[in-house]
Structure 1
Amino acid sequence: MKRKRYSKRVERLILHALNEATRIGFIPVKPGLEGVTEPEGTEIIVGGKNTVINWSNAGRGGLRFNVWWDYTPERCSDSLRKGRLRDHTGTMPDVSSSTRRTIVGLCAGCSLCVLEDGSIQLSRDSEFIVEYVRNDTVHLLDELPDVEPSGYSAPGRRKSDITNEPRLHQQ
């Protein structure tokens, strides 16, 4: 897959998730992140797919925002769902790679800044970081419409750069 096309897909997904996160008030908007230390996660729907979004304090007024898209934990055992899959924080679900293939289609993230006035913006040098992509999920990203940031700013928004571009994983 061509790098530019791939990066645009991931950027579109993250912008959809960020728009929903700001719409529902999920991201803390305390100036300087005063008192915000514990990561949080929640489930939403993005593009008709179950999605986990989470954030963690990255220090110096920054947040790491993560998206687990096409998240279907019901595909694994009850005992696993009652244990490790209840934790919706981290860059990816805390499971083996073979289990990951069955429960999530894509894991990606970016950096956010919480400004002194409490507003949120994509970090100026923010890259959209892909942690994991399941091969049969990639084409589904094409169905997401283009979207503009809503409820946060994206200074100097340019064609995104993807880091950690993973090999596609066959299911």
Structure 2
Amino acid sequence: MERQKQSLFPAFKYHPDPLAAGMIRRQQTICPVCQQIRAYVYVGPFYSEENVTGICPCYIKDGSAAQTYHGQFTDLIDCGWREIAPEYLDELHHRTPGYSSWQSETWLSHHNDFCAFVGYVGWKEIQPFAEEIAVDLAKLKTLYRLTQAQLERWSTGDSIQGYLFQCVVCGKNRLTTDAS
């Protein structure tokens, strides 16, 4: 069982590709949860009283890391998720890799469930579905007092970028940012 757990890379409902997002890397580590050598390491945020590094994805997925260190992988800003079932909130906080943002993460929801984090996007990357996320863009323009010209200067990895999500129920794309 232990060998099987080590060799499998778990699937995460709310973060389907943490490797592409850079939150998990293929890098040998000694996992602080199981004290075993692992092939993947989590490098994203983990909120705990202890400074914990080197967690392997398997112990994120099964909740052991969060339970062992009384921590969580997200430090959410409430974006209308108070209507979401407690088990979904538990899965997001304790069994889902987080993502890095300039401020506290905003994890979008749709259909009374959290959306899946797709990745970091700039203006170029959101163009193919700008119409689909028009409502989100309008909210962001108002909230952050952004002009169209400012939106068009967004780029991935810059101080102002977007965070793309996708509804796990209907597949609708959603967008947020933490522009200052």
**Normalising by structure 2, what TM-score?**
0.23
**Normalising by structure 1, what TM-score?**
0.24
